[in-house]
Amino acid sequence: MKAEILTIGDEVLRGEIVDSNKALLAQRLLSLDIECHYQSSIRDDRRDMDEAFSRAVERSDVLLVSGGLGPTRDDITTEVISETFGRPLFLDEASLEAIRAFFRNVDREMSETNRKQAFFPEGAEVLVNPVGTAPGFALEQSGCLIFCMPGVPRELSLMMDEQVLPRLEDLAGGTRVRARILRTFGIGESSLESELSDLARKGGAEIAFRTTFPDNLLRIIARGRSTSEVDMQIDQLVEVVRERLGDLVYAEEDESMASTVVRLFGERSAQIAVAESCTGGLIAQSLTSIPGASGCFLGGVVSYANRAKETLLGVPESMLAEFGAVSEPVARTMAEQVRQQFGADVGVATTGISGPDGGTEEKPVGLVHLAMSWGPGPGSASAGLHSDHFVFPLDRQRHRVLTTQVALDWMRRWALGLELVGPTLLRKRGGSSAPMHRGAPAANP
């Protein structure tokens, strides 16, 4: 079965909004093992829309249309469908009353322009929209099943799940497709694929690889006749992958590294403070973007200039003069000081050269020093201090993002009692203190 997705709107073509509707619709189709063969976007233009609709019914079995069902004069999807396929419009009184009721519920008077949303092409089946004013509709044309839905993602998602998927289920032959995402950090994509090459297809499940810097994602997909059968296949493969990769897998689905850290520290009633130089507050921003971060994140210091390191964090002027701001002693001092000043369980510091300028032969662009200080408490039996340095040969923005991710990964590892290591994708070994292992006391500074 060939499916096609068509999103309509000038704002999409101009780049004024990110077209997430295509991905949403394609993912829903995949759940029924219906392959999407074509995706396109077109303007609110009658000729373009007429050509797109005509072409779609000739080459596709299913056409999902998003957008153009609103009340304004540029919302012309229904009209063009009517004209293209010679189907006169009819007024659906039930839809008109539902639109009026929508406005009554929000204490507003319905504009006369909203009346156009209750008209549909002859032979169409109305798709109810319980959260908006734009009903959708379905019709069959030349063997192609067409579903027209609103462009608002919330309305589209609900209509797709409640109205469209049940209608497509019988056509899909009963096959069920499920997928699960495993998020990994610290290993390159090629190394990851090599590590799992023998598992790429195992039983009825398979693994697909995708990079979303700085993470590498594993998408585990399975097909079967029932949801329980598919879930069992995925569970079995996930278990094998987790056993193979160990702590390189840090989360599933949409849980970011920062979300993982907030969750783990919350579970352990532990608190964090950060001292940032080259990352410029990006670690703090990552953590505070997560709901519930106030339970574990106490605060941070962006000590970009040397004077800020001296006055705010107590880094000795003599240390800065002797070793420079981008150095192991400075990073360790920053981590210790920020932990003590905030009264946190863990203090993390970053200092580096993100470029594009500022490097030397001894300290090249891309060099970064990280340090973590922790006191006795929820995560360890004794206090400890660990530091490491890396050279990340990346542009300025990605250098800061990767450094932030390493710092967050150290927090995750500390909370789990794992070894504090850096990403093998750019540097394998290092560290100036003994790593911390689960069940073992942390190393002393």
| Domains in the chain: ranges and CATH | 2-169 (3.40.980.10), 176-252 (3.30.70.2860), 257-416 (3.90.950.20)
State residue 301's pLDDT score.
98
State residue 76's pLDDT score.
97
Enclosing H/E stretch for 46: helix 46-59
In terms of phi and psi (left: phi > 0; alpha: psi -120 to 50; beta: otherwise), the region of 322 is: alpha
Going by the DSSP 8-state scheme, the letter that residue 18 receives in this structure is -
State residue 423's pLDDT score.
80
Going by the DSSP 8-state scheme, the letter that residue 279 receives in this structure is T
Distance CA 297, CA 345 (A): 10
State residue 424's pLDDT score.
63
State residue 228's pLDDT score.
86
State residue 428's pLDDT score.
35
Long-range Cβ contact pairs of 79-86 (< 8 A, separation 24 or more) = 80/46, 80/49, 80/50, 80/53, 81/53, 81/121, 81/139, 81/146, 81/148, 82/121, 82/122, 83/46, 83/50, 84/49, 84/50, 84/53, 84/54, 85/53, 85/57, 85/121, 85/141
| Nearest in space to 237 (alpha carbons), one of 181, 293, 168 | 181
Greatest CA span in the chain, whole angstroms?
84
Pairing state between β 119-121 and 89-91: antiparallel
Q: Name the 3-class secondary structure at 177.
A: strand
- Tell me the CA distances in angstroms from 14 to 8, 9, 18, 43, one per residue in order: 12, 9, 10, 9
Residue type, 322: E
State residue 172's pLDDT score.
65
Model-level pTM?
Answer: 0.74
Tokens of 56: 């779609």
Q: Are the CB atoms for 309 and 335 separated by under 8 Å?
A: no
Distance CA 223, CA 203 (A): 10
State residue 190's pLDDT score.
87
State residue 405's pLDDT score.
97
Could you read off the pLDDT tens digit of each residue along the chain, which spans 445 residues?
A: 899 999 999 999 999 999 999 999 998 898 787 889 999 999 999 999 999 999 999 999 999 999 999 999 999 999 999 999 999 999 999 999 999 999 999 899 899 999 999 999 999 999 999 999 999 999 999 999 999 999 999 999 999 999 999 999 877 666 677 889 999 999 888 889 889 989 877 767 889 898 999 999 999 988 887 788 888 999 999 999 999 999 999 999 989 999 999 999 999 999 999 999 999 999 999 999 999 999 999 999 999 999 999 999 999 999 999 999 999 999 999 999 999 999 999 999 999 999 999 999 999 999 999 999 999 876 566 899 999 999 999 999 999 999 999 999 999 999 999 999 888 644 433 344 433 433 333 333 2
State residue 174's pLDDT score.
62
State residue 433's pLDDT score.
41
DSSP codes, 221-250: EEEESSHHHHHHHHHHHHHHHHHHHGGGEE
